[in-house]
Structure 1
């Protein structure tokens, strides 16, 4: 139980998220390279989220039964294989199949790292440790945005000879890093003993708790905002601001970095709020959701490259800053042997939003305009704040 252990888990999360979110950062390049519409481009996220969601309860049950260590090691190796599959995809249908596999592999991430975070956290610093771990998500996402835009400007396809597009080299680089970090994890992380008995998660018992149901509702709503934001920052910048895709990638990276700051600040504040272990992170979660709504309105009102950059930076603090306190609230609600199952339910709520919202947003952006899409996300974020307040925080 030390910050060194938190750093190891955070490094794993950074690597897994670098792999996973490279797909989100690549949407503009996928759209251009495979010559598909904005709405069809959203299917890349849908395919990946479908695979991710399909295995969550399996990986959650496996985490509770066998501990987090096997899932951390083998899950990251599977993710490396998925990255290589994406890099070698010659057509859009094959790419969708590859992304489905990436989703399967990434399903190991949240149940395993949430259990690991609870295990390694210093006493009394559980919320901050969870948010430090979650910084790995935004940090990896920011690195992914930079990596994909840099690789897109190289001659990687000609040099390597076995990939179709230059940007696909970013997926190969992510695969190599994943293999290295999986090896380090196998060597350095011992893990926490588990029951050894695989059983079906008792989801019904969790759903009997109205607080947990309220948290799931907020996850569904804000999850829609999170995955849509990471999917459409770059297309918004290229289509509405008329800036280069590289600028869009930099704005996305900024959004992810401010999200990291939001997670750290949210965790620190949550640990300092007096009351039960649930109260602090729940209050912060409600506040972040409300301010996320304000941020999306700011995106609608902004015009020009600089103003858009600032607006998305503000959005990042609260939209991308919320998952840490979301999981801190969740893990404080349940016993240690239910963390995997509870995480599976919570992540499924997030992913359901990610499955539905990005393609719908893309269609709205093409037919009505981006402003209508961002306004819709503002409304969803506001409802999420209300759900958290009435089901958890006000108690």
Structure 2
């Protein structure tokens, strides 16, 4: 049961039946959810790692950086691998590698070994986005593509929400090392099950390989926009729980707030895509511009609002804005590559994931040097830049 690497979008007239499309999209969501449980399970592990190894805020931020440094290093080659061997095989190996490498993190005896293990986690995460994006492009019906990509990306925040709720409880009961092993085992079982039953559309089974990457310069520009977007997202998701703890909020309560932030983002990703399809003619770039402006406003409000007084309210608004743009930027990147959505995603996200590498430690360094308030206002400006650059590049693409 082999699958071709990539295929074009499915038309409503001659595509597979709706139930088949829904089943395949559900499997892609399952892959994205389980992969996110690993990579976005790092923030709820961070307080325990900070206590064990005596880390500063900047040092704690480097934990997420180590993982996404692996993603950055491997994303462009991973996109080409997906293009060559197919979606299903790529996802199978990614799930096994992700679960095993997180479990190995629990064996690390020093901070350096933890960073190395998390780098390996990032390497195995790198095929997930190109593979699942190519799967969505192949199966999504014309007129539903923005929402289909958003639904797939909802798996990211859903997985993060599961980890944010589950990992602190596991740490409290078993310790962080056992928690890492348990989550790794869950991901291997659920992820492999989802990937094994994925198939490509019948119309694509004669396709041997994806077409050449198109619009490379604009894909690079969009990759920089993705960098800024993910810079904001991962600064918030990494440091929000630490900021709450610094204000005296208990770990379990802070973890619950982080879980609520991700749950809010999960619903908002579909909501923004629905708005794009319903009111903006499927214009994902314009929707992202509006979303980025909303993120900037919420982040600016964080400079005068004490999140520790109402962590749930802050989590809802931060999740609905700063964490909600992934489906939009992924669709823009996939479309920019023409006949090679996995390759354009791989190239764009090799730049985009750099935001997760440099963002959390810079945010933490600014907070160590000044205050969290300074960091929030800086993120507000970055959010505006992400939306503006995406809008400009997309207009150039269609000229």
What does the per-residue CA deviation read over 1:198-239, in whole Å, with 9 as the maximum and x for residues that have no partner? 99x75xx53333xx4542232121111011111101110011
Correspondence 1:231 to 2:233: no
2:266 is matched with which residue? 260
1:6 is matched with which residue? 25
Partner residue of 1:218 out of 210, 214, 225? 225
2:331 is matched with which residue? 328
Correspondence 1:113 to 2:119: no
What does the per-residue CA deviation read over 1:244-265, in whole Å, with 9 as the maximum and x for residues that have no partner? 1222111111111111111111
What is the CA–CA distance in structure 2 between the aligned matches of 1:41 and 1:183, rounded to whole Å? 31
Correspondence 1:302 to 2:305: yes
2:95 is matched with which residue? 76
What does the per-residue CA deviation read over 1:80-137, in whole Å, with 9 as the maximum and x for residues that have no partner? 1111111222221111111011001001110001011122223321111110000000
2:288 is matched with which residue? 285
- For residue 143 of structure 2, give the secondary structure of its aligned residue in structure 1: coil
1:25 is matched with which residue? 44
User: Do the aligned partners of residues 41 and 193 (structure 1) sit closer, same or farther apart at CA in structure 2, a change above 3 Å counting?
Assistant: farther
What is the CA–CA distance in structure 2 between the aligned matches of 1:146 and 1:308, rounded to whole Å? 15
What is the CA–CA distance in structure 2 between the aligned matches of 1:29 and 1:218, rounded to whole Å? 33
2:72 is matched with which residue? 53
What is the CA–CA distance in structure 1 between the aligned matches of 2:124 and 2:393, rounded to whole Å? 33
Tell me how far 1:143 sits from its aligned partner.
Answer: 0.7
Correspondence 1:386 to 2:388: yes
TM-score, reference length from structure 1: 0.89
2:12 is matched with which residue? none
1:364 is matched with which residue? 366
Please, which moves more after superposition, 187-196 or 34-43? Answer: 187-196
Give the number of equivalent residue pairs: 375
Structure 1 residue ranges, 4+ long, deviating more than 4 angstroms after superposition: 192-199
Partner residue of 1:140 out of 159, 174, 181? 159
2:278 is matched with which residue? 272
What is the CA–CA distance in structure 1 between the aligned matches of 2:84 and 2:206, rounded to whole Å? 6
2:6 is matched with which residue? none
Matches within 5 A, 1:94-243: 94-154=113-173, 156=174, 166-191=175-200, 193=205, 202=213, 205-209=214-218, 212-239=219-246, 241-243=247-249
Contact 2:337–2:343 (8 Å) recurs in 1: no
1:317 is matched with which residue? 320
Consecutive unaligned residues of structure 2, counting only runs of 5 or more, are 1-15
TM-score, reference length from structure 2: 0.88
What is the CA–CA distance in structure 1 between the aligned matches of 2:195 and 2:333, rounded to whole Å? 27
Instruction: Give the superposed CA RMSD.
Output: 2.1
Contact 1:66–1:194 (8 Å) recurs in 2: no
Correspondence 1:342 to 2:344: yes
What is the CA–CA distance in structure 1 between the aligned matches of 2:378 and 2:307, rounded to whole Å? 21
What is the CA–CA distance in structure 2 between the aligned matches of 1:385 and 1:126, rounded to whole Å? 20
Consecutive unaligned residues of structure 1, counting only runs of 5 or more, are 157-165
Contact 2:244–2:307 (8 Å) recurs in 1: no
